[in-house]
Amino acid sequence: MRVSVVGAGLGGLALAQGLRGAGIEADVFERDPGISARFQGYRLVLDPTGFQAVRDCLPTHWHPLLDEIVMHASAEQLILDPQLNEIGRLGAGQTGVVVDRQVLRHLLLTGLTVHTDAALTGYDVLADGNVQARFARRDPATADLLVGADGVTSAVRGVLSPQTTPTDTGVRFVIGRTPLADEFANLSKAYGSKITGDGVSLLLGAMRFRTPPEKAAEQLAPDVTLPDIGDYVRWAMILPRDGSLGDLTAQDAVLSRMEGWHPQLRALIEQADPNNSTLLFIRVVKPAERWAPGPVTLLGDAIHATSPTGGNGANTALRDADLLRRCLIEANDGRQDLLSAVNDYERQMFEYGTEAVRNSLEKLPSFAPEAKLS
């Protein structure tokens, strides 16, 4: 069996790793000109299901390295005012582990065949049941199955399920990263909490590595190369509906909304890496009607993009990867045919994917009251 995966995000890479481990050929096609060509996000929380899914997709000899580059996440989520006084509680935070997205992505990339600058223009289902993917700047690729793991603006979904389109919630947020210096030690109660004031919300999250990722890889898995990243604070400011930066940089736009805030909060933004902050739109994709059975399917944000306030986007994509991996292994072993295996995957994925989107939208108003949810 041969599988073409379109999209080199966490879900697509986890699937490719899982198939590779089972002896199934998997090629990854990424539209970006290079693996690190654009912003890929920072710290994220993997719940027990998401963490187990990525673990099951990876070779067992990498498990010690995976365990070393994560930290446990379990904290009471507070609501603080701009002077860091507690004014409410959001309740218990997600349990699971915290991982840096870039570090995890580099681990998942190891050993895979990834074709960059491969923007999909369409695909054709051939007479023999295979599927041929067409690209703008490279030769077509033929496989038994084509998996669209290419995000909110999925080109695969545009052909397979054109009635399934993204919805813009109207919410914008600026995200950035600041090295975790000693002077920010007393901000610890703000990590995982929401700081609210002047019509905006600021979210902070600490990323502390047990061992620096680059060093951990050298010690535990010499065949893996991980980025040289130190401890940091990930910050994100949720702007009012349809908020924009105007002519300001992302960093200055945040500071302009923090006049009179606690000096250490302002210092945190002032000391941020200006090359690692950006404005993002919150868009969601709700699974619509099932498409006709065939050798093409979707995974992750391509079919169920969630609001980040739900904390379940990466988790659901990784769950997809592990479920599809298991179904395809059954087909490869002759325990069922390919289309039945894909149908089993889609039936389950639609159910929990729809719930993931609903749950994320349910939580969005507590961070952005004016969000457009329909």
Report the percent of the chain where pLDDT is more than 70: 94
Least confident of 6-10, 195-199, 289-293: 195-199
- Which pLDDT score, from 0 to 100, does residue 42 have? 79
DSSP state of 196: E
Q: Where are the beta strands (DSSP E) in 285-323?
A: 296-298
Q: Yes or no: say if 106 and 285 are a contact pair by the CB < 8 Å rule.
A: no
Across residues 131-145, what is the average pLDDT? 97
Q: Is the pLDDT score of 90 beyond 80?
A: no
CA dist 12 → 45, 87, 275, 320 (Å): 18, 41, 26, 9
Q: How many CB atoms lie within 10 A of CB 89?
A: 12
Read off the pLDDT band of 104 (50, 70, 90).
very high
Q: Is the pLDDT score of 374 beyond 60?
A: no
pLDDT by residue (tens digit) across 224-263? Answer: 999 999 999 999 998 876 566 677 888 888 999 999 999 9
Q: Yes or no: say if 132 and 140 are a contact pair by the CB < 8 Å rule.
A: yes
Across residues 137-144, what is the average pLDDT? 96
CA 51 to chain centre: 13
Report the percent of the chain where pLDDT is more than 90: 70
Pairing between β-strand 167-179 and β-strand 278-284 as defined by DSSP bridges: antiparallel
- 275 or 337, which is more confident? 337
- Which pLDDT score, from 0 to 100, does residue 242 have? 59
Q: Where are the beta strands (DSSP E) in 163-257?
A: 167-179, 194-197, 200-207, 232-238
- 72 or 141, which is more confident? 141
Across residues 204-227, what is the average pLDDT? 94
